[in-house]
Structure 1
Amino acid sequence: MQHLGKTVITHWVVKLVLRASLGSTAQPVCAIITHWVLKLVLRAVLGSTAQPVCAIITHWVVKLVLRASLGSTAQPVCAIITHWMVKLVLRASLGSTAQPVCAIITHWVLKLVLRAVLGSTAQPVCAIITHWVLKLVLRAVLGSTAFGSQARDTLLPLRCVSEDAVTSPSAPHRRATVCLGVLCVLLLAGLVTTCVFNIIQVSQHSTLLALYTQERSAHQTLRVAKMSLERENEDLAQQRDELNTTLRFITQFSKIPAKAFCQLIDGEIHCEPCLRGWIQYGSNCYFFYTGPYTSWLSWHSSRQHCLKMEADLVIIDNIEEQEFINQNAPNYFDEYHGYWIGLSLTNEKKWVWTNGSVLDTGFWIGQPQISYGACVLSKTGDVTLQSWTVNTCQMLNRWICEMNAVPWPRPIKHRAPDQQG
């Protein structure tokens, strides 16, 4: 009994392992294992009387395996197996008296198989089989009284077969057993082959899936790296353009060193778009000279001072710039003084800016009096916009310089000399 208990436990463990490894494909293998374990238990408990029950179990397992492997096409084969199993059980139970019943079962199975294989064309063959089976049954039940003299001759070959079957009842039993055993072996071999093939396919599928996962992960990594490189390339291209623009501006300032715009703070170079003391407005820088009376200059001298700083007297292009100039140029000394701007009168009696462009719209305090002079001052007073007036170019005044703001690139990290090496 202890051996039986170990066998049952081993059976359940093996089924559990197969289901965990193969999943739903383990059902046929589990059925075969259950079949052999049940037969082993029945033989140990019932002895030789367990043969019919074992035959039924074998029949059930073989049908289950066939349906799992072949699907709906397994019906004819299952019918044949059921036929042999029923005949085997009947012969084991009834002996020689089971011959008529076995003949009827054989007749039914043959008709089922023929209809499954041939379809509607199997009707004549089925009629012939039914004819022979009926004569065989009548002969076995009624004996010689069942037929006339003509039928006796027809049944002579069948009678010989029937008498042989009666005299040697064990021969068909042996043949059925051998055939069923061979069929089980073939089915088991086919099932094992199918399982091995499925295991190989699952292994190959798992390998391909792992490779696909790795390739997909590598593709994602490369895609992220590509996007990062593209962003870095865009940043480098933008920085290159900024450096080129900055270089073009710096080369214009031949008299002003770069350190006039930049200073080193905490190991980093910080550059301003305007020189120290200048005010940025838009893309330009403005210098409002507010020194004492002794340093005031004429229009031409004021312009020379601006040119030394790579700038020029301010050119006012629009009303917003005019408002900015008035807000940052405080009133001083008296009502006659102001700030020189880059506008003057030419010999052709045209008001021209220092860059050569002709004045379009002005912000005059009244009509300009050419007899007063040829250079223009901007005076801040109560009127916000109208602040221009004309005076002699030799008059000493303060002035306003203008230059382009330097478009420095993003802050550049730089190690201080005492931090290097």
Structure 2
Amino acid sequence: MQRSREEQQPLFTILKGGHRFTPEDAGVGDVVLAAGTISNLAEDIAAAPAYGAVEVLDVRGKYVVPGFVDQHVHILGGGGEGGYTTRTPEVMLSQLTEAGITTVVGCLGTDGTTRHVSSLLAKARALEEEGVTTYIYTGAYEVPAPTITENVRNDLILIDKVIGCGEVAIADHRSAQPGKEDLKKLAAQCRVGGLLSGKAGVLHLHVGGSRQGLKHLFEILDEGEIPVSQFTPTHINRSQAVLEEGIVFARRGGMIDFTTSAKPAAVDGSRLKAARAVRFCLEKGVGIGSMTLSSDGNGSLPLFNEHGQTVGLAVGEPVSLHREFRDMVVSENLGLEASLRVVTVNPARSLRLFPSKGVLRVGADADILILNEELEIEYVFARGRCLVRQGRAVVKGTFERS
């Protein structure tokens, strides 16, 4: 069996002279990594070899930013809408790290029969042993949701890595066609399970392209019993119509998630680029704090004709998260600080992983990216370990080729 290729890890790492974004602009200075956390942020920090091995990394002229939080990745693979041969493969460690993803949430999708939540949990534990922080959603497209224990509530309370339920499909011909009451009961289990476990307990909703849209979600919110923060609708950039509903949801205090793997030319001409969707929402008055991006990595992106037949298939890419982040800065001129928020602190807050994740602050996990002037990824640190150096993974997954 091939093992992960390890680098000698120093006890302390000092990132010297970089332009730090927390994601707020914190100016030029140093960052100290020790014991998996950020131990200091200051203008000038001298190495102290007496305390043990110290690596000093000169990052002058580069950006030092939080690691990306990707809340929607099919780490176990997904797909199958075109038959058994269209089942997509599992995620490998370097697919995440070379994309700047240091925290990932795994999910099942259409297939909750041949893929199982227990297998998803095992894959998440494997990726964490290899180097990144992982969580999962219990459930899949269908309702009732497949779980490890008796129900969603118990999964949240009893299983450490379960932070919500998803991706439950609505407004989609592949869904179980859940009604308002079905979704309301699921959300109630998520809420109570989250309260009793101290977790977010979000209901992560795959939004399809049918006319039903977010109708049931708005009806639940109108009843006023379950707060808007309990829901995270994703694929909101699926079409202009879905985006308009997403804007209404965000104005009601909700968090909307855009899929970075949704390439208009490759999948469906009605889809909007995630970077452009963020800009559109900002122009419509939606605050930057109400939006997140996720990759839908290793999920299938099928194209169906008017008869519901699969006529094309693409595969989501974790690296699309970094690509759309960069496009927000370079193509949409949204600025580095705002663009970072939607891939770092916003998903961390929504999933109640803040203040350990999504920020550069003393005491937070040392999940850090070093970006060059072109915003390309040069270094990735996950809980203080250097996993990517000069743009290449130096720690590989167990079964990856060196």
Please tell me the TM-score bracket, short chain as reference.
under 0.3
Larger relative contact order (Cα-Cα within 8 Å, sequence gap ≥ 6): 2
- TM-score, L = length of structure 2: 0.19
More strand by share: 2
Greater radius of gyration (CA): 1
More helix by share: 1
